[in-house]
Amino acid sequence: YGLMIGPTEISDAMNIFTNQGFMDRASAYWCLRSLFVNRFPEINMFDQAFRRFWTFEYFDSREVQEYKSDIFTGGKKFSRRRTETVLPEHDPSSGNVLFQPNPVGASSRKSEEYRDVSHLAEINSEEVSRIASNFVRSLADKPGRRYQSTRHGTKIDLRRLLRESFRAGGEPWRIPLKSRKPRLPNVVFMLDVSGSMDKHSRNLLHLAYETCRKTSQVKVFVFSTDVSEVTREMKSNTMAEALTKISGKVAHWSGGTRIGDCLTQLSTEFSFVLNRYTTFVLMSDGWDTGDPEDVSRKLSVIKRTVKKLVWLNPLIGSGDYEQATRTLEASVPFVDVFASSRNINELKKLPALIV
């Protein structure tokens, strides 16, 4: 069908199905599409091949060969003829059609090509909100340059003293004090949303969302084989609304994992979010298809740039953590805090570890 699939993609797919076990048809569709589709025109190709596999339709070898020749010689002709002759009209009465193929061009229907993750909003938000408050408070450890008026300050506030003197006829009844404002902590969350993190991402997404509500100096990124910034989506009114928006933006959810490549992309395309005041929080289980040494090199670069590097790993404290990955072993020298994110009780310990 003209899809650019190599041994790496096939190996990733085999690993996911081996680790996750049996999947329903919808889960298999999103999992395979995140691995095999790299360009927008390939979505229709994958949809057609996937539908034919599940409905046991006949594969014409001449038709497949025509797709291959078109994809390498004339993509525009392929896209136009593909839409007109190969894709059937959607029949709502058919029980075999898993999805509605989207025609190329404008459409009034809302796009549903990205995975729906709104179900992740079902969690005790009050508990996570308290954890986020303690987390932000633990990061605001050093005062900034600016001052604020306080009752128990360390310096006399001369401006307020003069203003109150004029109001009181030159004899103020008290001496106003001031102290330095605590600097708002800069936090960068980088959350792994690959297939192996599906069952662990709920708590971490909520922690990032609640932290965004506590302070404005927060940036949130999600990654698997690519990096996407979701800071604006995370600042929605509700968690469910935020996840709905993310569903329409992130196309690589539940894909493979390339931590090293994604760290490189972050440090080049989004280097402005990393500075000496930043606390960088990597949320990942450490399973990676790339070179562990590459991950350690990228972390060493980020470590020299930021104030503190924290790795939240959902496998710490579980049986799976005993099988430490090479990526984790290579990254230990560059991480300030290794903490577990296995459940809410483990996340409660995070603020104390940061101090």
Boundaries of every domain in the chain: 7-104, 119-137+184-354, 144-182
List the structure tokens of 107.
């459409």
Those residues whose C-beta lies under 8 Å from the C-beta of residue 254, and which sit 6 or more positions away, are 30, 31, 34, 115, 193, 194, 195, 198, 224
pLDDT of residue 185: 81
Neighbouring C-beta atoms of residue 95, cutoff 10 Å: 7
Q: Do the Cβ atoms of 286 and 335 come closer than 8 Å? A: no
Q: Do the Cβ atoms of 86 and 48 come closer than 8 Å? A: yes
pLDDT in tens, 141-166: 667 777 888 888 778 888 888 888 87
Nearest to 263 by CA among 293, 220, 302, 219: 302
Nearest to 302 by CA among 326, 335, 330: 335
Q: Do the Cβ atoms of 279 and 241 come closer than 8 Å? A: no
pLDDT of residue 277: 87
**Residue segments in the chain with a per-residue pLDDT below the cut of 50:** 61-122, 323
Distance CA 214, CA 114 (A): 29
CATH superfamily for domain 119-137+184-354:
von Willebrand factor, type A domain (3.40.50.410)
Distance of CA 219 to the CA centre of its chain: 10
The secondary structure of residue 65, as a DSSP letter, is H
Q: What are phi and psi of 308, to 5 degrees?
A: -150, 140
Q: Do the Cβ atoms of 270 and 302 come closer than 8 Å? A: no
User: How far lies 313's CA from each of 166, 246, 287, 308, 320, in Å?
Assistant: 59, 22, 10, 16, 11
pLDDT of residue 68: 44
Q: Do the Cβ atoms of 238 and 121 come closer than 8 Å? A: yes
Q: Do the Cβ atoms of 313 and 338 come closer than 8 Å? A: yes
pLDDT of residue 102: 40
Distance CA 198, CA 222 (A): 13
pLDDT of residue 320: 56
Angle (CA) 244-194-205 rounded to 5° is: 45
Distance CA 25, CA 250 (A): 20
pLDDT of residue 340: 86
Distance CA 144, CA 126 (A): 30
pLDDT of residue 310: 93
pLDDT in tens, 264-302: 999 999 999 999 889 999 998 888 777 778 888 999 999
pLDDT of residue 91: 40
Those residues whose C-beta lies under 8 Å from the C-beta of residue 236, and which sit 6 or more positions away, are 242, 245
Distance CA 236, CA 257 (A): 27
In this prediction the pTM is: 0.59
Residue type, 202: R
Distance CA 77, CA 203 (A): 46
